[in-house]
Amino acid sequence: MNELQDLFTHAQLVGGDAAFEQRMAQVVGFVDEPDVGLALPLDIRGTAFQQRVWQALREIPAGETASYRDIARG
């Protein structure tokens, strides 16, 4: 959290929100161990094509890479 505050100096961190703290713990845990995965409720809006691309990106295992060609053929 200190690193985030250093990066976003004008942001105000408000404590006491248990749901937020749980989500932050999930994100930090994912950064520490990406193989565990991350399942956060997101409201991502886009075209049907964008939704398919984002789904394909989520299916790439942590630590692996894929070319645009690989994703398109997926």
User: Tens digit of pLDDT for each residue in 36-55?
Assistant: 888 888 888 999 999 999 99
What pLDDT does residue 73 have? 87
Q: Cβ neighbours of residue 26 under 8 Å, at least 6 residues apart?
A: 38, 40
Q: Cβ neighbours of residue 35 under 8 Å, at least 6 residues apart?
A: 61, 62, 63
Q: Structure pTM?
A: 0.57
Which two three-digit tokens encode residue 33? 């161990």
What pLDDT does residue 65 have? 93
